[in-house]
Amino acid sequence: MADVATLRRSKPAPRPARQLATGRFGRKVRRNLPAHGFLVGAVLCFTFFSWYPIAREIIMSFQKAVLGGGYTWAGWENYIRIFHDPTFWQAWRNTLEFTLLALVIGYAVPFCVAVLLNELRHAKGYLRALVYLPVMLPPASALLLFAYFYNPQYGLFDDILRALHLPTSQWVFQPGTGFVSTAMVSVVIAATWMNMGGATLIYLAALQNIPGELYEAAELDGAGLLSRIRHITIPQTKLILIMLLMLQVVATMQMFVESFVLTNGGGGVGNNTQSVVMLIYQYAFAMSGASNYDSASALGVVLMLVLAVFSGGFRG
């Protein structure tokens, strides 16, 4: 790096610079060539499958397909079109609903479970393995099992409700688009069961790093159980709590497979569990007629911006 910079600065005198290039620059190339050789495979993969697609996503969102092949600039046309699509707003509303419900259920539960497990002196390995086991299952297996439990005719969950003399539910296929809809809660329950293991184990590791003296000192000062949790456990794990909060929101905003499999690719009754990523998929691949990458890219850019603003605001 530094050598390249000095090379540029000495440009006004051309002859010595050329000599410099063959001498020092040549040596530098010889020194760097093997190092870049080790890098080249990964860099090519990043270029083709990560960096270029990121740029392409943004470019495609401002282009439209021309009849007979090729693309032409479309300005904001794609964005205006998706903003006028009622499904766009519904998908965003559903995604926010999922994210908030997943926070209420899926964020608090792993932390409480971790605090509880950390107090137990027995069956530690067993309980840890239990919590993480569902994370390992192929999502289709776990979700098709939940779809079976949720089935309104022969599902287990309705049977439990009947045994408790409670009204039965259609679960994921319950109509209604209230902000806390039964359909979305059903998706969140399945998603939490599947995914909570990772967060729980990370919290457990953080809890184990809390110095025991803090608790002892607090106890000597007469702090009860709840105030010890409030004044020691939570502040000591704050960093991890905040980090996982951010990661979880970013992950849940990209919800796709849960709703896709539970509703058999449909998005629920009246699209009440359709998420933004499901809509991207539908725009791009499942709409009637030709695939529409323009709208899909525009929606992708919107999602990318929302998540970027969110995680940026979080750090700031």
Partner 1 sequence: MAGLATGAARVSRRRPVTGSTRTLISSAQLNRRRGKITYRIILTLVIVVFTLVFIGPLYFLFADGLKSTQEAIATPPTLYPHHLHPSTYKAAFDRLDIARLLWNTLYYAFGALAFQLIFDVAAAYSLSKLRPALGNVIFFMMLATLMIPSTVLAVPQYVTIADLPILHINLIGTPEAIWLPSVANAFNIFLLKRFFDSIPAEFIEAAQIDGASRLRILRSIVLPISRPIIGVVSIFGLVAVWKDFLWPLLVEYGYSPTRETLNVGIWQASGTTEQNLIIAASAMAAVPTIIFFLIFQRNIIAGLTSGGIRG
Q: Which of residues 192-221 bind partner 1 (CB under 8 A)?
A: 193, 198, 201-202, 204-205, 207-208, 210, 212-213, 215-216, 219
Told to check if 28 binds partner 1 by CB under 8 A, we report: yes
Instruction: Based on the shown chain and the rule CB under 8 A, indicate whether residue 287 belongs to the binding site for partner 1.
Output: no
Q: Which amino acid is at 193?
A: W
Q: How far is the CB of 183 from partner 1 (least distance, A)?
A: 18
Q: Is residue 229 helix, strand or coil? A: helix
Nearest distance from C-beta of residue 19 to partner 1, angstroms? 20
Please tell me whether residue 314 binds partner 1 under the rule CB under 8 A: no
If one asks whether residue 147 binds partner 1 (CB under 8 A), the answer comes out as: yes
Question: Binding to partner 1 by residue 64, rule CB under 8 A?
Answer: no
Rounded least distance, CB 82 to partner 1, Å: 13
Per the structure block, which two tokens stand in for 112?
């409480």
Contact flag: residue 119 with partner 1 (CB under 8 A): yes
Q: Is 136 in the site for partner 1 (CB under 8 A)?
A: yes
Nearer to partner 1 (CB atom), residue 75 or residue 265 = 265
- The correct pick among 79, 185, 280, 282 for binding partner 1 (CB under 8 A) is 280
Q: Is 311 in the site for partner 1 (CB under 8 A)?
A: yes
The Cα angle at residue 269 between residues 266 and 273, in degrees rounded to 5: 65
d(CA 210, CA 276): 39
If one asks whether residue 111 binds partner 1 (CB under 8 A), the answer comes out as no
Cβ pair 210, 237 in contact under 8 A: yes
Sign for the pseudo-dihedral over CA of 73, 75, 76, 80: negative
Distance CA 109, CA 192 (A): 9
Q: Does 188 interact with partner 1 (rule: CB under 8 A)?
A: no
Contact between 92 and partner 1 by CB under 8 A: the answer reads no
How far apart (Å, rounded) are the C-alpha atoms in residues 29 and 236? Answer: 49
Report how far residue 255's alpha carbon sits from residue 277's, in angstroms, rounded to the nearest whole number: 7
65 binds partner 1 (CB under 8 A): no
For residues 94 and 276, give the distance between their C-alpha atoms in angstroms, rounded to a whole number: 8
Nearer to partner 1, 9 or 15 (CB): 9
**32 interacts with partner 1 by CB under 8 A:** yes
User: How far from 115 is each of 191, 205, 229, CA to CA, in Å?
Assistant: 21, 11, 9
